[in-house]
Amino acid sequence: MEITYRVRGGIPLVGDVAIGGSKNAALPLIAAGVLAAEGETVLRNVPQLRDVRMMLNILDFLGAETSFEEGTVRIRAQKLQSRPIPAELCAPIRGSILFLGPLLARFGVVEMAYPGGDVIGKRPVNAHVEAFTQMGAEDMSTQDILHLQGTLESGHVILPEFSVTATENAVMAASLLPGETRIDLAASEPHVQEVERFVGSMGAKISGIGQHTVVIRGSRTLHGAEHYVTFDYLEAGVLVLAALITRGKLRLHGIDREHLLSFLDSLRRFGAVWKYDPKEQALLIDGELSSLRSMNVRTNIFPGFPSDLQAPMGVAMTQAQGVSRMFERLYEGRMAYLYELEKMGAHVEILNAHQALIIGPTPLRGRVVASNDIRAGAAMVLAALCAEGETTITDVRYIERGYDKLDQKLRGLGAKIERMEA
């Protein structure tokens, strides 16, 4: 089924909106349910996304009992077994790689097809394999199958890079190992911190949460636990930028400012007018009073500017005065959305796979454009919201893998956006 969005731009977004649960936190938390050999794992505030259901499908395939109703996921993994996970379950979702650590730690063997997901550049699995071989696993993988086996042991793990999912995998595996495991070069993104807190509530002891060195004292038996999934700071960033480029005024509820420090500092340099209320955990963004000016942005690991907000920020730069420079440090495929922006009239100079100049302000015009990946899809929605006339966005399935009912939220704020199914 082909899904498209039809958007009529030029309407300021106004109102209050509650930010939903984080997909990037929910997926590893679901995988962590494998670790609980007793009790029930309960996750609340889980976004209604296809990727969530696909992760649960993998658990069902492995023999777990799962349910997902009204934002609450329940997992009972007592009868779960480690079986070869076929490509039809792994290939459509990058998050399937998160089962590698929990299954290997609990059963001593894991075999699965290579994960899929967005095409945003190379995202190899070597960091995951390197972590587990340091823990004592034997790598028996082939070109088509990821296959690790062996009894893992606690010790010292030095990750080859600040990989989010490799950190999550290593933390989950270490939580099931007696003794102390130290992980260096650990990623520290908010969703990594969620996993670290969660395994702590399951019975492991963990220190260094949110730091690049994490120490886990594991336990042979972990129990189910209950957890409220943190807000999606990436969804928040998209809505903030939507307010700016439509010259609207939004109040976003459920915000942890610590998750958005670099992004909010960039907004300050960008000329945005915003105010954070720590008591209410609310962020007020005033696009009408803002005067956007060019700036340079370099994406980086947390707490740097998020790579997942690079494309939405690139759209906002088309509406700023002067020449902005975007430098994508992490993925070589994340600039492809700029070709779609050029169709709409943006003045862009792509210097190489990692750098581009964006010259503004440039009026955008409605066109037919495509979603290249989850975050590029959100960028196309932003472009459509500030464009003259009507824009049709294709391949919306990417957008709906990462944003829970984004079209409904935007309509509630005054946007003219229609979801079409063919």
Residue 18 CB burial class (10 angstroms; 0-12, 13-18, ≥19) = exposed
Residue 387 token pair: 């464009």
Assigned token pair, 58 = 């993998």
Rounded to 10 deg, the angle between the 164-174 and 100-107 helix axes is 20
Q: How far is CA 303 from the centre of its chain?
A: 14
DSSP-based three-state secondary structure for 101:
helix
3-state secondary structure of 153: coil
Single out the residue of 252, 243, 261 nearest to residue 283, CA to CA. Answer: 252
118 included as an active-site residue: yes
The 3-state DSSP class for residue 148 equals strand
Q: What is the largest CA-CA distance in the chain?
A: 62
Beta bridge partner(s), residue 207: 215
**How many Å separate Cα 235 from the centre of its chain?**
9
State the CB neighbour count (10 A cutoff) for residue 53.
14
**Which runs of E-coded beta strand occur in 278-354?**
282-286, 296-298, 322-327, 347-352
- List, in order, residues 6 or more apart from 56 with CB less than 8 Å away: 30, 66, 68, 73
Sheet architecture: strand order including 145-149? 109-113, 145-149, 138-139
CA 369 to chain centre: 23
Cis status, amide bond into 303, omega within 30 of 0: yes
Q: How many CB atoms neighbour CB 135 within 10 A?
A: 24
At 344, list the tokens.
């709409």
Radius of gyration of the chain (CA): 21
Identified catalytic residue from 51, 118, 232, 308:
118
Q: Active-site residues: which are they?
A: 118
